[in-house]
């Protein structure tokens, strides 16, 4: 093995052993603060979730507190006796959402700084978020796609890290970024459970949830591959890095072939292509470390790390395109020629415009029992309801079933709030055109 290869390998092993930085001292840091689920409404069940890490070179031994504040008021305090180096603690605080703009602040080892650390300036982190008033109509189908798109977007951002002239520091930063990306992917299951709690129980057995559950399992598999890549990279085992890279590539291909709520995950194919470059560079670096002739190990390593960050960028771009696609094809609810924001008032007509649909059917259900209360259908992308019947004031589950000009069946699930009575015609029982049968 050449001297350069040996030097590079020694650097990797040193990172794996944790001998970078100020030896012996811990460094407690707030890695992330997020409020779940996204797009919160007034009164919705939420979780304030934070990840605390010890990224120093020694164990944090001794009692220390983690303080979570909301808008300057103490929300919770959690006490810990130790946090070993390179380990993390996840804290979740339940909270009932209140309308408005909020700031959540997490302070680790506060307020007395009992733990002696290599860096005392990174113990506090704040993040803002908005809770909207309860909307008149909300698409569960769109919420699901946004959930998975948002998680992928955050994962892509997590894959960004700082490259320095010091190979040890760059390797350390890369390992941490990949590990953080895996942690971010695993939050999909948390958010899905919260979204499910706020959705009409009538849809609990719908295929939408089954598809979402399969996506959570796939996200977990991708997260596992990322964790294995980070672990093997930290000890310089590039054969294992490549082995898990191949598995990750296959999982990414599988993800790009998925569909959720009639929204294709095909925009993620560009991220798969980017990851091919990551694998090619990992192979080149592995061969160089084994004594092959070619470019310098450091040059290839830097290119590899940049390729990983480019993959993260493409993942975020694909996630954004995924959400935009779902938003573009979602149904629009209107009242008095304006977008429905608050509860639908039955004094006026309700109009629904569904882009790309040539035959539209609306079904309204009791949100708890799942009993069908009303149905109506019309040719074209517009469906109008005139107020001349009765549905009591309350919250209902809706299912839209549509047919595109290509004969493709689309379904959208959601929630509709109605105020006042004497509004919607009583249930009209009629034969649905071929392909339009609802069911639930």
What would the pLDDT profile of 293-316 be if each residue is shown by its tens digit?
Answer: 989 988 998 899 999 999 999 999
Name the residue range of residue 353's domain. 332-419
Per-residue model confidence as pLDDT tens digits over 229-283:
999 998 889 999 999 999 999 999 999 999 999 999 999 999 999 999 999 999 9
Domain final position from 135, 164, 188: 135
Residues 151 and 262 in one domain: yes
Share above pLDDT 90 across residues of the chain, in percent, rounded to a whole number: 69
**pLDDT band for position 15 (50/70/90)?**
very low
Number of C-beta neighbours around residue 21 at 10 A: 17
Residues 107 and 216 in one domain: no
H helical segments located in 257-268: none
Residues 72 and 195 in one domain: no
Which pLDDT score, from 0 to 100, does residue 434 have?
37
Residues 108 and 244 in one domain: no
What radius of gyration, in Å, describes the C-alpha atoms of the chain?
A: 26
Q: What span, in angstroms and rounded, lies between the C-alpha atoms of 31 and 34?
A: 10
Q: What span, in angstroms and rounded, lies between the C-alpha atoms of 96 and 323?
A: 26
SS3 state of residue 101? strand
Domain final position from 135, 160, 177: 135
Q: Are 18 and 57 contacting, i.e. CB atoms less than 8 angstroms apart?
A: yes
Residues 294 and 373 in one domain: no
Residue with tokens 């672990």: 231
**pLDDT band for position 428 (50/70/90)?**
very low
Tell me how many domains the chain contains: 3
Which pLDDT score, from 0 to 100, does residue 7 have?
46
Residue 322 domain-assigned?
yes
CA distances from 181 to 93, 126, 154, 185, 216 (A): 22, 20, 8, 6, 15
Residue 11 domain-assigned?
no
Q: What CATH number is attached to the domain comprising 404?
A: 2.60.40.1220
Lowest mean pLDDT of 27-41, 96-110, 394-408, 420-434, name the range.
420-434
CA distances from 84 to 10, 62, 163, 171 (A): 24, 11, 26, 20
Residue 274 domain-assigned?
yes
Q: What span, in angstroms and rounded, lies between the C-alpha atoms of 196 and 201?
A: 8
**pLDDT band for position 432 (50/70/90)?**
very low
Checking if the pLDDT of 126 tops 50, the result is yes
What tokens does 175 get? 């390992």
Residues 276 and 411 in one domain: no
Over residues 17-24, the mean pLDDT reads 51
Residues 210 and 319 in one domain: yes
Q: What span, in angstroms and rounded, lies between the C-alpha atoms of 12 and 288?
A: 14
Q: Are 175 and 294 contacting, i.e. CB atoms less than 8 angstroms apart?
A: no
Q: Is 82 exposed, middle or buried, given 0-12, 13-18 or 19+ CB atoms closer than 10 A?
A: middle
Q: What span, in angstroms and rounded, lies between the C-alpha atoms of 70 and 35?
A: 11
Which pLDDT score, from 0 to 100, does residue 89 have?
92
Residues 399 and 324 in one domain: no
Residues 410 and 389 in one domain: yes
Closest CA to 46 of 88, 98, 90: 98
Closest CA to 339 of 44, 133, 138: 138
Residues 218 and 301 in one domain: yes
Residue 12 domain-assigned?
no
pTM of the model: 0.87
DSSP 236: T
What tokens does 193 get? 């459970």
Residue 61 domain-assigned?
yes
Per-residue model confidence as pLDDT tens digits over 379-409:
999 999 875 556 788 999 999 999 999 999 9
Residues 212 and 247 in one domain: yes
Residue 41 domain-assigned?
yes
Q: What CATH number is attached to the domain comprising 100?
A: 2.60.40.10
Domain final position from 330, 347, 382: 330
Residue 14 domain-assigned?
no
Residues 150 and 289 in one domain: yes
Q: What span, in angstroms and rounded, lies between the C-alpha atoms of 16 and 27?
A: 17
Residue 427 domain-assigned?
no
Which pLDDT score, from 0 to 100, does residue 306 have?
94
Bridge pairing between strands 45-54 and 28-36: antiparallel
């Amino acid at each position: 093995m050449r001297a350069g290869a040996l030097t590079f390998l020694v650097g990797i092993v040193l990172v794996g052993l944790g001998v970078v930085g100020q030896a012996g001292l811990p460094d407690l840091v707030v890695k992330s603060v997020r409020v779940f689920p996204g797009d919160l409404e007034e009164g919705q069940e939420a979780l304030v979730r934070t990840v605390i890490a010890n990224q120093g070179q020694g164990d944090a031994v001794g009692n220390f507190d983690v303080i979570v504040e909301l808008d300057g008021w103490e929300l919770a305090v959690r006490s810990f006796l130790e946090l070993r180096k390179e380990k993390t603690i996840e804290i979740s605080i339940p909270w009932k959402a209140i309308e408005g703009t909020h700031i959540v602040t997490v302070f680790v080892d506060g307020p007395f700084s009992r733990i002696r650390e290599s860096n005392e300036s990174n113990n506090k982190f704040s993040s803002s978020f908005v809770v909207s008033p309860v909307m008149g109509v909300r698409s569960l189908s769109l919420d699901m796609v946004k959930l998975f798109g948002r998680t992928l977007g955050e994962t892509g951002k997590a894959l960004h890290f700082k490259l320095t002239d010091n190979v040890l520091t760059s390797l350390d930063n890369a390992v941490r970024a990949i590990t953080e990306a895996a942690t971010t992917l695993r939050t999909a299951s948390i958010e899905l459970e919260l979204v499910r709690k706020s959705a009409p129980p009538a849809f609990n057995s719908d295929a939408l949830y089954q598809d979402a559950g399969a996506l959570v399992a796939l996200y977990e598999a991708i997260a596992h591959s990322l964790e294995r890549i980070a672990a093997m990279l930290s000890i310089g085992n590039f054969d294992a890095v490549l082995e898990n890279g191949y598995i990750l590539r296959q999982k990414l291909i599988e993800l790009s072939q998925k569909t959720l709520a009639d929204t294709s995950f095909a925009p993620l194919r560009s991220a798969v292509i980017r990851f091919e470059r990551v694998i090619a560079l990992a192979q080149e670096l592995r061969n160089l470390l084994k004594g092959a002739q070619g470019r310098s190990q450091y040059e290839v390593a830097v290119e590899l790390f940049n390729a990983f960050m480019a993959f993260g960028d493409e993942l975020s771009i694909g996630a954004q395109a995924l959400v935009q696609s779902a938003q573009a094809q979602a149904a629009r609810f209107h009242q008095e020629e304006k977008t429905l924001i608050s509860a639908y008032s039955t004094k006026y007509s309700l109009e629904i415009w569904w882009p790309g649909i040539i035959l539209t059917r609306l079904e309204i259900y009791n949100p708890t029992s799942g009993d069908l209360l009303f149905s109506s259908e019309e040719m074209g992308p517009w469906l109008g309801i005139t107020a001349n019947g009765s549905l009591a004031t309350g919250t209902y589950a809706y299912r839209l079933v549509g047919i595109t000009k290509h004969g493709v069946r689309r379904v959208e699930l959601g929630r509709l709030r109605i105020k006042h009575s004497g509004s919607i015609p009583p249930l009209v029982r009629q034969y649905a055109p071929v392909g339009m049968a609802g069911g639930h």
